[in-house]
Structure 1
């Protein structure tokens, strides 16, 4: 018997459950260090399809699997199909909220040589205390890597962007927003979870045994024998910069350059340059696959998790470790799950820039 799915409408600011939604179909996806998305269909004329209570930007959406929250986020759009009699709700994970929040305090923001976790807690706490959505930061613990960040009020630094840039450093991390029952049956909370790259795993998958590898793309466009990261203009036309190289790469000279217009010190640019170089150290293999139904649960495939994929099919000969960059789950009216994964090389994503 398959898992039982339930979809709840919540209040975005509090997480309080508003009602259970009658659904005609569910699809949800989680992306590595991004917002993720969900799409849920409900009957257009259902009592729960009430525009006074169910509104984009105000309503939340929580998907439960066997009564355990597995996905949650914010409804940003709704499409009514009058001919079909359905209302499709489109939602994004909570990171999408932080794309709409800024470090807009009049004094700006400045911290020097503090742990990555201190920065994350500062930024989320600022949002929480200024009309936010109550993101739980109790699971964010010391990382052991010091960073400096400084922005004036006029730079109006976006919080989601700040988190992503911090995660992308060479000694960065993977992050996600985990839903949980804060009060069973009453309120669903969500916590920011930060994990070191490569510490979570997924089961070994083999083409035509436990999965169907639908495609493998090989990308050499990011190869770099030399990488440069430039910072902000210091007002004299000069910019701080850092560089890193791949002396073992046998390709002809190729240069990758990135500019971080809000970074003002060479020290802060060093991990950026190293991350760019790591991404450019080898061609990136990007497999996409569908897991055979009934063998696994979606909770076994978290974005950022590392596992082995085996393929022996002509040009494609893989026996190596990959990182999940996206997990997509579809649930039909019978409750049958389909799990699709997008992956990329472990060496690039665990040691370099994950964006």
Structure 2
């Protein structure tokens, strides 16, 4: 673990407090979610006053890169082994704990600008409500313009969770991906909110079994396949708003597969249609999912892969090409022990996000 450091800072000010003596470390990056980290430290290095849940931010540094960051949320102390295990959540976990507490309406606004306004107003304390307590922890890297305009209204009385509002925007048809990245800004760590196309960010990375990674197995999963997607919205009984979206070409080859999603806070057909379209797109084909484990101390490593990137995955068996597809990285998990570094990737096929669907009926 010589190339890794685990440092900690005060959440509200960003001031670096020190470095942790680490015996074991694991962390995960998640697309459109917070991820997590577990840090084991010897008991002699445990500072009860400094390491306080939701007051302390923990960062994982590899070489010069900051690869992970987020608040300490819990810890356990083992007096027999004389160590402490710190359980941390990715920084986005904090914004899941905030509520939209004032009426906010957006008409034909870029969805990225809606996200920025919501996060600044109701999560970070840097928007139009300066009295709205927040850590002022996020910077924006200029990726907020997506080219997709939305109409959205959030009512004070709904008390909608900020994190859920952003994740709902991301998950609708023609939505986006988001994550929080990290980098040095002088002597402090800066937290950058980044948006990217839901189709993925192209790269030149090729992950080839036996060359720069292991692909011990892959699965073909049709569990989530859908040909009829129904999304229900606001209202009750016969007055409840509902939208259907179909994959009729698929139903020429296979029987109908139905799924229902409830969106009680949605009162417009266009928004419900977007959710139904996304269900059909994601459920249009069986998902071929490889298990990918990067080689330690080689390229690409943990600092070279990020959720949202598109990578080519290839595998040959007996000289025969059995897998050659483009995938989007949805998660990166790293585990460090005395035995070394192990990095695994969570992937979804690129085609999952292709436009599919034949008919919609309100």
- Report the TM-score when normalising by structure 1: 0.90
Question: Which of 244, 251, 254 lines up with 2:254 in the alignment?
Answer: 251
Q: How does 1:135-150 map to 2 (within 5 A)?
A: 135-150=138-153
SS at match of 2:113: helix
d(CA) in 1 for partners of 2:238 and 2:62?
A: 55
How far apart are the structure 2 equivalents of 1:111 and 1:101? 19
- Identify the match of residue 324 of structure 1 among 326, 329, 345: 329
Contact kept, 8 Å, 1:151 with 1:262, in 2: the verdict is no
Q: Secondary structure, in 3 states, of the residue corresponding to 1:348?
A: helix
- Per-residue deviation, residues 120-179 of structure 1 (Å, max 9, x unmatched): 111111122222122123434211111122232221111111111111122111111111
Judge conservation of contact 1:216–1:316 (CA < 8 Å) in 2: no
Note the alpha carbon deviations across 1:62-112, whole angstroms, 9 max, x for none: 11111321111111111111111111111111110011101012xx22222
The secondary structure found in structure 2 opposite 1:327 is strand
Moved more, 12-21 or 241-250: 241-250
Question: Aligned-pair distance for 1:281?
Answer: 0.7
Cα distance in 1, alignment partners of residues 309 and 323 from structure 2: 18
| Cα-Cα RMSD | 2.2
Once the two structures are superposed, the pairs formed by residues 8-157 of structure 1 within 5 Å of their partners are 8-46=7-45, 49-105=46-102, 108-126=103-121, 127-129=123-125, 130-134=132-136, 135-157=138-160
In structure 2, how many angstroms separate the alpha carbons of the residues matched to 1:350 and 1:255?
A: 19
CA contact (8 A) 2:231 2:242 kept: yes
Alpha-carbon distance in 2 for matches of 1:137, 1:262: 28
Question: Partners in 1 of 2:205 and 2:283 — Cα distance?
Answer: 28
CA distance in 2, matches of 1:109, 1:262: 14
| 1:226-245 mapped onto 2 (5 Å cutoff) | 226-233=228-235, 237-245=238-246
* CA–CA distance in structure 1, aligned partners of residues 141 and 155 of structure 2: 28
- Stretches of structure 1 that go unaligned for 5 or more consecutive residues are none
Please say if 1:189 is aligned against 2:190: yes
Please say if residues 144 and 194 of structure 2, whose CA atoms lie closer than 8 Å, have aligned partners that are also in contact.
Answer: no
* Structure 1 residue 3: Cα displacement: 6.6
Question: What's the offset of the Cα at 1:312?
Answer: 3.8
- 1:42-73 superposed Cα distances (whole Å, 9 cap, x missing partner): 11122xx1111111121110111113211111
- Do the aligned partners of 1:226 and 1:245 also contact (CA within 8 Å) in 2? yes
Q: How does 1:298-313 map to 2 (within 5 A)?
A: 298-313=302-317
User: Counterparts of 1:82 and 1:247 in 2: how far apart (Å)?
Assistant: 62
Contact 1:6 1:63 in 2 (8 A): yes
Distance 1:137 1:264 in 2: 31
Q: CA deviation at 1:195?
A: 0.8
Further displaced range: 206-215 or 77-86: 206-215
Change (3 A) 1:251 1:202: farther
Task: State the match for 2:128 in structure 1.
Answer: none
Residue 213 of structure 1 corresponds to which residue in structure 2? 215
Deviation sequence 1:284-312 (CA, Å, 0-9, x none): 12222211222222122111211111124
Matched residues in 1 for 2:211 and 2:39: separation? 31
SS of aligned partner of 1:290: strand
Query: Alignment partner of 1:164: what SS?
Result: helix
Which region of structure 1 is more displaced relative to structure 2, 25-34 or 311-320? Answer: 311-320
**Paired residues of 2:37 and 2:89 also in contact (CA < 8 A):** yes
Deviation at 1:283, TM superposition (A): 0.7
Checking the alignment, whether the CA contact within 8 Å between 1:59 and 1:75 is kept in structure 2 is yes
Tell me if the contact between 1:203 and 1:300 (Cα under 8 Å) persists in the aligned partners. no
Cα shift readout 1:257-295 (whole Å, capped 9, x = no counterpart):
211111110111222111111011101122222112222
Q: Name stretches of at least 5 consecutive residues in structure 2 with no aligned partner.
A: 126-131, 357-362
CA distance in 1, matches of 2:140, 2:286: 36
Shift of 1:237: 4.4
1:346 maps to what in 2? 350
TM-score with structure 2 setting the length: 0.88
